[in-house]
Amino acid sequence: MSSILRFLAFAAAMAACVAAQPVDRTKPPRTPPIPPYKLPPVSETTLRNGLKIVLVEDARYPLVTARLNFMAGSRFDPTELPGLAEAVASLLTEGTASRTARQFSEEVDAIGGSVGAAAGPDALTVAGNALSENTGKLLDLMADAALHAEFPAGEVDLYKRNRAESLKAERADPAFLAEEKRLRLIYGTTPYGHMTATLGSIAKLDAAKLAAYRDARLTPENATLTVLGRLPAHGELMKVITDRFAGWERRAAPAPGKIAPPPPRRQIVLVDRPGSVQADIHVARLAPPRNSPDFFPMLVASDILGAGAASRLFRDVRERDGYAYDAHTEYATQRDAAMLTAVTQVRNEVIEPALREVLAEVDGVFAKPIPPAELTHVKDYMCGMYVLRLETQEGIAAQLDMIQTLGLPKDYLETYTSKVRSVTAMQVQAAARRYLSTGLASIVVIGDASKIAEPLKKFGPVRVEAEK
């Protein structure tokens, strides 16, 4: 008998054995132990101009992912120019001292990679990837964007026109309106209280303002360069980095002030959208940021409440009551603060029982201890999803960026699963009692005030605002 036939016979015999074993389909399969994540080898150094370098060797694929991360997000926008950090990020690759926007794009295409930039609440990041053989060219393009962007007048004008139109489209989305409103309610007038540009601030943009922001905040002392993947030899790579970045003039960026959100309080805001046949419900509370000892218990509480199809909100608001197609939680963490929100969309006619159920589910997390089986299931789910996110270079790079941005311990990635596993039912209940009580929640509803204002008044005073 040939080796192939012997293998087929063996496989058939094994399949028959497995099929003969009884399977209890009333119980879910047991989740195998999820080992702690082990970060690939890391090398760290700092150039004389203050630029921090993090090199991570990951030879699984012939690829390199690089990120140049600055503490330069929207929290640093001038009060009169919200959206400035976002505009700077968008225009960094649209023309430099040595490349037009088209030339820059063509060179990125020529190395089979990508280079772009984006700004969040805390950080502005220039990110790119390419085949390992093009590491030097990738870093050259990223350095050119960060150090030598010129913000050509034509590109700035094009950005302003496009951004004004995209902002109008965003404001037609109830989810956007709800996020905009709840940021203001939770974070008040602090820099975290705004999320995007306005038509007025877009109109004020010009090359001088963009360059001034770049020069003030995109400095080597305010930056970390992370290069991850199948890297060249260490000495060779450091020479490439030094050639591109060592001549960058050392400048200290203004230190960020500590953001202190206002104390939470119960408030209900209805943003009127005449003719809307459904209501978007957002129940938000100030929550602990990632550097808080309460973060992991609160993260487990959030996932129990609204992460995935087995969560309480999904199971009860959608599956049991049929009020919504989706119900979930969102836990957004910044460096100095965080916000947890329960989100769902329901038909106008069920706004009252649906909101009552959402509030009951939120308060129910601390009303009594979490059953052991539910707690174990949620922690298994969290650890499994976390490890999956770190399967790609982009996933690892994004997490390393987060560590820098949020000021987390260097071992955060490797201790994540053990910290999740160590959370007890008592800790979940205590954290939920401290942060989830809906008596201090900000409730934002987007919908037709003529149809849903009266039912909402049963939950407290309602402030109705026109859709802007």
- Give yes or no for residue 11 having a pLDDT over 70: no
Q: In what order do the strands lie in the sheet with 442-447?
A: 324-333, 338-347, 278-287, 442-447, 267-272, 462-466
| Mean pLDDT of the region 285-300 | 97
Same domain, 141 and 240: yes
Q: Residue 23: pLDDT above 90?
A: no
87-102 mean pLDDT: 97
**Integer Cα distance of 317 and 326 in angstroms:** 8
**What pLDDT score was predicted for residue 288?**
97
Residues 282 and 375 in one domain: yes
Domain that residue 63 falls in: 42-245
- In angstroms, the CA 40 to CA 18 distance is 37
Domain's final residue, options 189, 212, 245: 245
Do 200 and 324 lie in a common domain? no
User: Tell me: the pLDDT tens digits for 212-264?
Assistant: 999 999 999 999 999 999 999 999 999 999 999 999 999 888 888 899 999 99
What is the C-alpha radius of gyration for the chain, rounded to an integer number of angstroms? Answer: 25
Confidence class of residue 365 from pLDDT cuts 50, 70 and 90? Answer: very high
pLDDT score of 10 more than 80 = no
Q: Is residue 36 part of a domain?
A: no
pLDDT the model gives residue 30 = 72
Band (pLDDT 50/70/90 cuts) for residue 12 is low
Q: pLDDT at position 255, please?
A: 82
pLDDT band at 14 (very low <50, low <70, confident <90, very high): low
The SS3 assignment for 311 reads coil
Return d(Cα 130, Cα 40) in angstroms, integer: 19
Please spell the DSSP secondary structure of 1-45, one letter per residue: --HHHHHHHHHHHHHHHHHHS---TTSPPPPPP-PPP-PPPEEEE
300, 378 Cβ separation under 8 angstroms: yes
Same structural domain, 123 and 66: yes
Q: What integer best gives the mean pLDDT of the chain? A: 93
Mean pLDDT over residues 335-345, rounded? Answer: 97
Residues 294 and 437 placed together within one structural domain of the fold: yes
SS3 194: coil
419 in the same domain as 312:
yes
Residues 218 and 360 occupy one common structural domain: no
- Sequence-distant (6+) residues with CB within 8 A of 433 are 366
Q: Which of 180, 212, 245 is the last residue of a domain?
A: 245
Q: Do 317 and 189 share a structural domain? A: no
Asked if residue 382 belongs to a domain, the reply is yes
Rounded to two decimals, what is the model's pTM?
A: 0.90
Domain boundary residue among 193, 210, 245? 245
What confidence tens digit (pLDDT) does each residue in 142-196 have? 999 999 999 999 999 999 999 999 999 999 999 999 999 999 999 999 999 998 9
The answer to whether residue 8 scores a pLDDT higher than 50 is no
pLDDT digit string, tens, across residues 55-74: 999 998 899 999 999 999 99
| Cα distances (angstroms) measured from residue 286 to each of 176, 262, 292 | 19, 9, 13
Question: What is the SS3 assignment for 237?
Answer: helix
**Which backbone phi and psi does 447 adopt, to 5 degrees?**
175, -175
Please tell me whether residues 274 and 239 are part of one structural domain: no
Q: Return the half-sphere exposure (C-beta side, CA atoms, 13 A cut-off) of residue 9.
A: 6
Q: Percentage of the chain surpassing pLDDT 70? A: 95
Complete DSSP assignment for 143-184: HHHHHHB---HHHHHHHHHHHHHHHHHHTT-HHHHHHHHHHH
Please, what's the b/e burial string for 337-360 (b: 16 or more CB within 10 A of its CB; e: otherwise)?
bbbbbbbbbbeeebbbebbebbbe
Q: Is the pLDDT of residue 22 over 80?
A: no
- Note whether residue 321 is domain-resident: yes
**Considering the domain boundaries, does residue 26 fall inside one?**
no
CA-to-CA distance for 277 and 275, rounded, in angstroms?
A: 6
User: Is 1 within the bounds of a domain?
Assistant: no
Distance of CA 239 to the CA centre of its chain: 33
Residue 439 to residue 288: CA distance in whole angstroms: 18
Q: How confident is the model at residue 31 (pLDDT cuts 50, 70, 90)?
A: low
- Pairing label, strands 462-466, 267-272: parallel
pLDDT band at 32 (very low <50, low <70, confident <90, very high): confident
Residue (of 456, 124, 141) closest to 272 by Cα position: 456
pLDDT (mean) for 38-52? 93
The more confidently predicted of residues 40 and 422 is: 422
Look at the chain and report how many structural domains it folds into.
2
Q: Are strands 52-57 and 42-46 parallel, antiparallel or unpaired?
A: antiparallel
Read off the pLDDT of residues 150-160 as tens digits, 9 standing for 90 and up.
999 999 999 99
Arithmetic mean of pLDDT, 297-325: 95
Residue 379 above 80 pLDDT? yes
In a domain, residue 31? The reply is no
Give per-residue burial for 258-284: e unless 16+ CB within 10 Å, then b.
Answer: ebebeebeebbbbbbbeebebbbbbbb
Q: Is 424 helix (H, G, I), strand (E, B) or coil?
A: coil
Distance (Å, whole) CA 196 – CA 163: 11
The tens digit of pLDDT for each residue in 428-446 reads: 999 999 999 999 999 999 9
What is the CATH number for 241?
3.30.830.10
Are 57 and 245 a contacting pair, CB within 8 Å? no
Does one domain contain both 152 and 84? yes
Q: Is residue 97 part of a domain?
A: yes
Pair (138, 273) in one structural domain: no
Do 380 and 461 sit in the same domain of this protein?
A: yes
Exposed, middle or buried by CB within 10 Å (0-12, 13-18, 19+), for 174?
A: buried
15 is a domain residue: no
